């Protein structure tokens, strides 16, 4: 008998089917005096099964929650059941042995466990519908990211994660034994995506990046998913911000379209992306938060204050801060043409948290040599990169979105680990 997904039962019933077979996990059993209710969960949702025969009720008593079963039965309307449909007179076939009792009760509407417990048992706790909804939003975000960029003439690339040199600095890099020689895990695809802009003009990559973060914070991971974009033939960083704006809007559109049920089920409030994301210069941002003008960076509390300010002033969950001081930006950052103390780079704050870093890059070989030597870096460490830069590069720029941060702010959890399938940090290397 063909399997029907739980979510398809109403349509199957409406189409005149009087019976159906579902397959999934026993989410919850309830034994009443003359009837046993079983909620079956599959990838699409849940279905209610009603057993009245004593042999079947006895069978169910031996099938604990999370046991995998096939259930064939009659299909009838019941306004009180999920989807308005229930399965009656079930024939239940276990598809595996009775499941062990999970470390956390997965059938409860809210998962009652601390973060460490949830993470220790991630393979099981992600089964909880409220957890699964979070990842469905992540998956839809990635799909929306690619869909938009594909339609805008970008080419997907995959760049190496084992690298000879750390891309940006020697700090926070994982070291590897590469056939007896040292190598590093890529902190970002920055240098590669720039080189590939010389090939494809417009590139993106969705892939892991690695940071040996020595701090244990609620917003850093040792490994996360970076949504990277780089493209050529730009006027300046405002063109980059414009593509970022459209990309975020497309990601949200896809979340609404394919993870709308997930969003609703956890009560997440999706933002709307303004046609023009408000932009403040770094110097103005310092003024808004009342920080001294010589401050070299925005602290987390500044970002939170700016987030509130943008919401109040513009009704926007997003705020771009441009012109960050050159001293705080990597060597490839393009200076602000009117005043080279500042740069053509920006951070995008989302609900008061830095979500994206982006900007225009240098594209002339001579500027790179100058930038590297000024910082005391040896250009010989960047041979292939500098060869690309001397070989004809368009004015270009790009950005990177941290997937888990994005999802964390979307669903408003207080720790990025709630949005990561199997997080890695200073203290956690498993599961």
Question: Smallest distance from the beta carbon of 285 to a second copy, in angstroms?
Answer: 31
> What single string gives the DSSP state of each residue in 396-427?
EEEEEEEHHHHHHHHHT-SSGGGG-SS--BTT
Which of 212, 234, 185, 143 is closest to 424 using CA atoms?
212
Does 307 belong to an annotated binding site?
A: no
| CB-based contact 262:133 (threshold 8 Å) | yes
Q: Residue 431, preceding bond cis, omega within 30 degrees?
A: yes
Of 11 and 299, the one with the shorter C-beta distance to a second copy is 11
Measured between alpha carbons, how far is 396 from 233 in angstroms, rounded to an integer?
Answer: 6
Question: Smallest distance from the beta carbon of 352 to a second copy, in angstroms?
Answer: 25
Cβ neighbours of 188 (radius 10 Å) = 21
Q: In this structure, what are the phi and psi dihedrals at residue 347, rounded to the nearest 5 degrees?
A: -115, 145
Q: How far is CA 363 from the centre of its chain?
A: 30
Of 207 and 278, the one with the shorter C-beta distance to a second copy is 207
Measured between alpha carbons, how far is 322 from 328 in angstroms, rounded to an integer?
Answer: 13
Does 53 belong to an annotated binding site?
A: no
Question: Smallest distance from the beta carbon of 304 to a second copy, in angstroms?
Answer: 28
Does 403 belong to an annotated binding site?
A: yes
Does 253 belong to an annotated binding site?
A: no
CA atoms within 13 A on the CB side of 292: 3
Does 220 belong to an annotated binding site?
A: yes
Does 30 belong to an annotated binding site?
A: no
Of 340 and 431, the one with the shorter C-beta distance to a second copy is 431
Question: Smallest distance from the beta carbon of 348 to a second copy, in angstroms?
Answer: 22
Does 357 belong to an annotated binding site?
A: yes
Of 315 and 394, the one with the shorter C-beta distance to a second copy is 394
Helix locations, 40-155, DSSP H: 54-61, 115-120, 122-125, 129-151
Of 328 and 381, the one with the shorter C-beta distance to a second copy is 381
Does 167 belong to an annotated binding site?
A: no
Of 37 and 135, the one with the shorter C-beta distance to a second copy is 135
C-alpha torsion 282→285→290→292, nearest 10: 0
Positions at the binding site for L-aspartate: 168, 211, 357, 361
Give the residue numbers of the binding site for ATP: 211-213, 219-221, 354, 402-405
Give the residue numbers of the binding site: 168, 211-213, 219-221, 354, 357, 361, 402-405
């Amino acid at each position: 008998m063909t399997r029907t997904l739980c979510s398809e039962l109403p349509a199957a019933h409406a189409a005149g089917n009087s019976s159906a077979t579902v397959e999934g996990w026993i989410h919850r059993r309830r034994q009443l005096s003359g009837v046993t209710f079983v909620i079956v969960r599959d990838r699409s949702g849940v279905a209610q099964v009603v057993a009245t025969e004593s042999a079947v009720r006895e069978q169910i008593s031996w099938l604990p929650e999370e046991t995998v079963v096939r259930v064939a039965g009659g299909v009838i309307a019941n306004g009180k059941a999920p989807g308005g449909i229930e399965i009656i007179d079930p024939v239940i076939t276990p598809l595996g042995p009775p499941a062990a009792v999970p470390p956390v009760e997965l059938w409860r509407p809210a998962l009652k466990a601390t973060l460490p417990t949830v993470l220790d048992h991630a393979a099981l706790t992600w089964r909880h519908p409220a957890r699964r909804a979070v990842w469905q939003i992540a998956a839809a975000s990635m799909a929306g990211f690619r869909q938009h960029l594909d339609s805008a003439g970008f080419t997907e690339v995959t760049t190496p994660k084992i690298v000879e040199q750390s891309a940006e600095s020697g700090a926070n890099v994982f070291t590897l034994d590469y056939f007896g020689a040292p190598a590093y895990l890529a902190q970002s695809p920055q240098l590669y995506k720039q080189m590939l802009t010389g090939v494809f003009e417009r590139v993106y990559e969705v892939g892991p990046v690695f940071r040996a973060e020595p701090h244990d914070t609620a917003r850093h991971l040792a490994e996360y998913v970076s949504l990277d974009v780089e493209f050529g033939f730009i006027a300046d960083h405002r063109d980059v911000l414009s593509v970022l704006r459209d990309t975020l809007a497309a990601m949200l559109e896809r979340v609404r379209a394919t993870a709308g049920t997930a969003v609703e089920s956890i009560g997440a409030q999706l933002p709307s992306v303004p046609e023009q994301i408000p932009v403040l210069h770094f110097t103005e941002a310092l003024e808004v938060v009342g920080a001294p003008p010589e401050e070299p960076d925005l602290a987390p509390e500044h970002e939170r204050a700016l987030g509130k300010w943008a919401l109040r002033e513009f009704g926007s969950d997003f705020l771009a801060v441009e012109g960050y001081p050159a001293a705080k930006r990597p060597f490839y950052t393009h200076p602000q043409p009117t005043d080279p103390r500042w740069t053509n780079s920006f951070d995008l704050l989302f609900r008061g948290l830095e979500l994206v870093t982006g900007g225009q890059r240098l594209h002339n070989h001579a500027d790179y040599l100058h930038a590297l030597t000024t910082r005391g870096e040896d250009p010989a460490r960047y041979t292939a990169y500098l060869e690309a830069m001397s070989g004809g590069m368009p004015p270009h720029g790009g950005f990177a979105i941290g997937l888990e941060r994005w999802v964390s702010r979307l669903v408003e959890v207080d720790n990025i680990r709630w949005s990561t399938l199997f997080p890695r940090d200073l203290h956690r290397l498993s599961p």
